[in-house]
């Protein structure tokens, strides 16, 4: 192996090691880290990085190009899908709870399924979104915390309703959980950073 191929091989190995060990977030950071060990022109390092990418030894994640800068742009962007999904499920559950009777056998199962999601997931999910609006926790943790929190919110809501003049009925429980989930989801939107 000649001297040029050896230098190229060493540089490529070093680039891969820097990516594995130091986890640079951008190509610019990667080039700066490699440049500390190999004082080469930046364009030459970039060429090596691109060559490694073409060989499949490096992969780059593409960042989202659109970052919402206001509440209106956030609500109309794909970043707010969770909010609109939550609101849609809450409203669908409320409508089915009040319109589908218990004896409508085939369609009542949709009411049960929506009710299950409504009681055991959505209130906790909305509250966890308030507490962790960004991606501080991954989806598995968010799901587990959402179910656990919902299992705490629903009984507390029923306990509080017991001491109100309205009492514990399907209507009061549904409307209370509807209000709580909507308030939590809206508060989570307010806490989200747009820029």
C-alpha 163/C-alpha 17 separation (Å) is 63
Using CA atoms, how far apart are residues 44 and 11, in angstroms rounded to an integer?
A: 10
Q: Whole-angstrom Cα distance, residue 187 to residue 19?
A: 38
Could you tell me the pLDDT band of residue 64, with boundaries at 50, 70 and 90? very low
Token representation of residue 59: 């992969």
- Alpha-carbon distance of 48 to 31, in angstroms, equals 10
Give the mean pLDDT of 168-174. Answer: 95
Euclidean distance between CA atoms 56 and 189, whole angstroms: 39
Q: What is the pLDDT of residue 40?
A: 83
Q: Write out pLDDT tens, residues 103-119.
A: 998 999 999 999 999 99
Q: For the segment 2-32, what is each residue's pLDDT rounded down to a tens digit?
A: 667 777 788 888 888 888 888 787 788 888 8
pTM: 0.65
Lowest mean pLDDT among 25-34, 80-89, 91-100: 25-34
> What is the pLDDT of the chain when averaged over all its residues?
87
* Residue range 163-183: mean pLDDT, rounded: 96
- Report angle CA 59, 63, 67 to the nearest 5 degrees: 175
Give one DSSP letter per residue of 103-166, joined into a string. Answer: T-HHHHHHHHHHHHHHHHTHHHHHHHHHHS-SSSS-HHHHHHHHHHHHHHHHHHHHHHHHTSTT
């Amino acid at each position: 192996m000649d001297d040029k191929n050896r230098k190229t091989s060493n540089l490529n190995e070093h680039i891969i090691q820097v990516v594995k060990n130091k986890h640079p977030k951008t190509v610019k950071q990667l080039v700066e880290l490699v440049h500390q060990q190999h004082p080469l022109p930046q364009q030459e390092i970039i060429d090596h990085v691109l060559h490694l990418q073409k060989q499949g030894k490096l992969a780059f994640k593409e960042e989202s190009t659109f970052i919402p800068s206001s509440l209106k742009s956030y609500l109309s962007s794909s970043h707010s899908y969770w909010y609109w999904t939550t609101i849609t499920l809450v409203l669908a559950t409320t409508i089915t709870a009040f319109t589908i009777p218990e004896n409508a056998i085939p369609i009542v199962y949709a009411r049960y399924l929506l009710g299950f999601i409504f009681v055991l997931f959505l209130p906790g999910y909305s509250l966890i979104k308030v507490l962790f609006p960004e991606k501080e926790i991954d989806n598995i943790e968010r799901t587990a915390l959402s179910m656990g929190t919902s299992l705490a919110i629903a009984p507390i809501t029923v306990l509080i309703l017991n001491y109100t003049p309205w009492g514990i009925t399907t209507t009061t429980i549904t409307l209370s959980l509807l209000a709580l989930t909507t308030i939590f989801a809206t508060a989570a939107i307010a806490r989200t950073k747009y820029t």
